[in-house]
Amino acid sequence: MPAEIIETNQTTFQSVEIDPVTLDIIENALRNARIEMDATLVRTAMSPGIREQGDAFPLIADPSGKMIVGQFGSFIDGFLTQFDGTIEDGDMIFLSDPYSCDGAVSHSNDWLVLLPVFKDGRLIAYTAMFGHQSDIGGSVPGSMPINASSIFEEGVRIPPVKIWRKGEYNEDLMKLVMHQTRKRDWCQADLNALIASCRVASKRIIEMAERFGDDVYVSATQELLARNHRAMKALIAQAIPEAKASFEDYICDDGKGYGPYKIKCTMWREGDKVILDFDGTDPQSAASINFFLNENMFKMFFGIYMIMVFDPQILFNDGFYDLIEVRIPEGSLLKPQFPAALSGRTHALGRIFDILGGLLGQGTPEFLNAAGFSSSPHLFYSGWDTSKDRRDWFQLFQIGFGGIPGRPLGDGPDGHSLWPGFTNVPNEFLERYFPLRIERYSTEPDSGGAGKHRGGNGIHMTYRFLADGEIAIHDDRWFVPPWGVNGGHPGARAKKVLERADGTSVIVGNKVEDVPVKAGDLLHFITWGGGGWGDPLERDPDLVGLEIRQGLVTPEGAKAYGVVADEDGAVDTAATEAMRSKIRSERGDLPLFDYGPGIETLRANCEEETGLPAPIQPEWHDQMAEAAE
């Protein structure tokens, strides 16, 4: 280690050798502090998105802003790069505008609180937490307008400002911000929860520094970063070839009738460094599906994927960033120019993980995952409830779950979140606080792609609305299916059906807003499944029969595995052997990736298959569907 550690504020800490026991104690204390941040948050927040689903992300960083522990880190660097103010003891930073922090947060609904931790006058750490606010003003309830053409339509934008300046609370600033939201009570409570979480972590850091000494604590954080660097360097040398590999996937549409939008990434290694180049990604959208991808954020995504696939015991932190170079074209879907709208960036954000899987798995198919639930479908329901002899405003924002992809080690889980830390909103909570009733909450049979390892099924959730209001839906994978791998089949696509109280029924789009609903209407909210892994004909027929009895597969769906069974899951062994033999004789070589029908075939059959018009291909998409064909 160097003789001293110089931090961004010119504070100097003496580097000392850390014995393994002390390092282990500090590492686990930091992990526990991060968990305590989450616990503080969910016990203090009010909105269902944060309180029930956990849509918030903690971070503890070293004095230069590098994450030591966290769930969704790497946003301090973007803030420090553009912040031109001072950072002093007693300060607390508050921000939400992606364009003011180089995409460190990626849409304005995410409010970030950043607390510099001082001890004896020296900056010793940062703690931070950001969480998705259910409403920040703007043109629609929920502040995520599909039709927005600029970020100015998406609610209040908060540049880096100080909630506390040298220990003094900026009450007027908070009054101004809270005046913009339709749900001031939720936003105020959620912001207080973010603040409390940061203060809890700050307290734990001070306790560690007092116990071991400032120099020991800071040196330990540097060793944790260096250890991660060594581990990632070895993984990169082992798993990333020098030859270039490319992969592309699609966002189905932008809610305005245009799409699909291509995201393409090419990866190769030069010495110890990985290059990830997004050249070939489509230009930015005129709607809100743009994703302002911070380069360090993508490095974090890459690192998480590598660690989870190859060695989950590695402590994930920011220590390896100099081993990765990320290139994103200006003006593209992933680097839009101000003031492009950003509120619907969830779909591109999630699709990045499918692309990483496709890139990293090409050279090692045994580790390849299929495409899965790479998004966070949103349902918004708002209006005035007059059932209690008074007029009360209600506003629901809920994130749906779907099918995790089939994997080398087994089936994908049914009805799970893209983000592993998320939980569902309990139905009892929804029915207690909103004028609705949940009439169905189950997996959607056959929605997981067939394979030796089945893709996880999506969710079929049926809402009965008990008050007139409006709904909005933000979802994807209704047009381009999630692909299977190693011979596995694609998962089923998403679908939304609105069943009116008068008996009529209509399929609604997966990116719609301002849809009026009446008391008594039913919404069938069906999410997509994960792609399958491996040859479906290698799946145990008795397991398929069991899943028929469990309601996960239907007798018709069992045919994709070459299995003949009745409604009770009893397998006809002879008929199954005959069907499998026939399928094997008629099919060709199993593809590494099964994308399902090509884009043009999907477009031709779209209305028949989905009940919706196909998205229109913009003029600049001259290379669309190359992978899917």
DSSP 463-497: EEE-S-EEEEEE---SSSPPPEETTPPPPPPPEEE
Of the three residues 484, 511, 534, the one that is the final residue of a domain is: 534
pLDDT in tens, 3-12: 566 555 567 8
Contact call for residues 65 and 213 (beta carbons, < 8 A): no
Residue 58 has which token pair? Answer: 């903690």
CA–CA–CA angle 160, 351, 337 (5° rounding): 45
Residue 8 located in a structural domain: yes
Whole-angstrom distance, CA of residue 152 vs CA of residue 158: 12
H/E element holding 514? strand 511-517
Lowest average pLDDT, out of 229-238, 579-588, 604-613, goes to 604-613
Residue 562 located in a structural domain: no
Of the three residues 192, 217, 232, the one that is the final residue of a domain is: 232
Residue 619 has which token pair? Answer: 């003029």
Residue 135 located in a structural domain: yes
The distance of Cα 36 from the centroid of its chain, to the nearest Å, equals 22
Lowest average pLDDT, out of 42-46, 253-257, 618-622, goes to 618-622
Closest to 42 (Cα-Cα) out of 577, 355, 426: 426
Residue 347 located in a structural domain: no
Of the three residues 178, 205, 232, the one that is the final residue of a domain is: 232
Tally of domains in the chain: 2
Whether the model pTM is above 0.95: no
Q: Where is pLDDT greater, at 3 or 625?
A: 3
pLDDT in tens, 323-337: 999 999 999 999 999
Residue 392 located in a structural domain: yes
Residue 314 located in a structural domain: no
Average pLDDT of the residues in 569-587: 96
**Model confidence at 189: pLDDT above 50:** yes
pLDDT in tens, 308-327: 777 777 778 888 999 999 99
Query: Which band of pLDDT confidence, cut at 50, 70 and 90, is reported for residue 618?
Result: low
Query: Which band of pLDDT confidence, cut at 50, 70 and 90, is reported for residue 626?
Result: very low
pLDDT in tens, 93-127: 999 999 998 888 899 999 999 999 999 999 999 99
**Model confidence at 623: pLDDT above 60:** no
pLDDT value, residue 394: 96
Residue 515 three-state SS: strand
Lowest average pLDDT, out of 69-83, 463-477, 597-611, goes to 69-83
Residue 263 located in a structural domain: no
Contacts of 130 (CB under 8 A, 6+ apart): 56, 57, 72, 75, 105, 110, 111, 112, 113, 194
Closest to 451 (Cα-Cα) out of 357, 368, 370: 370
pLDDT in tens, 254-283: 999 999 999 999 999 999 999 999 999 999
pLDDT value, residue 539: 98
* Angle between helices 295-310 and 346-361 in degrees, nearest 10: 50
SS3 of the chain: helix, strand, coil, percent, to 5: 30, 25, 45
H/E element holding 50? helix 48-51
Contact call for residues 375 and 418 (beta carbons, < 8 A): yes
Whole-angstrom distance, CA of residue 174 vs CA of residue 192: 11
Residue 557 located in a structural domain: no
Query: What is the domain extent for residue 471?
Result: 368-534
pLDDT value, residue 437: 97
Q: Where is pLDDT greater, at 583 or 317?
A: 583
Average pLDDT of the residues in 548-568: 97
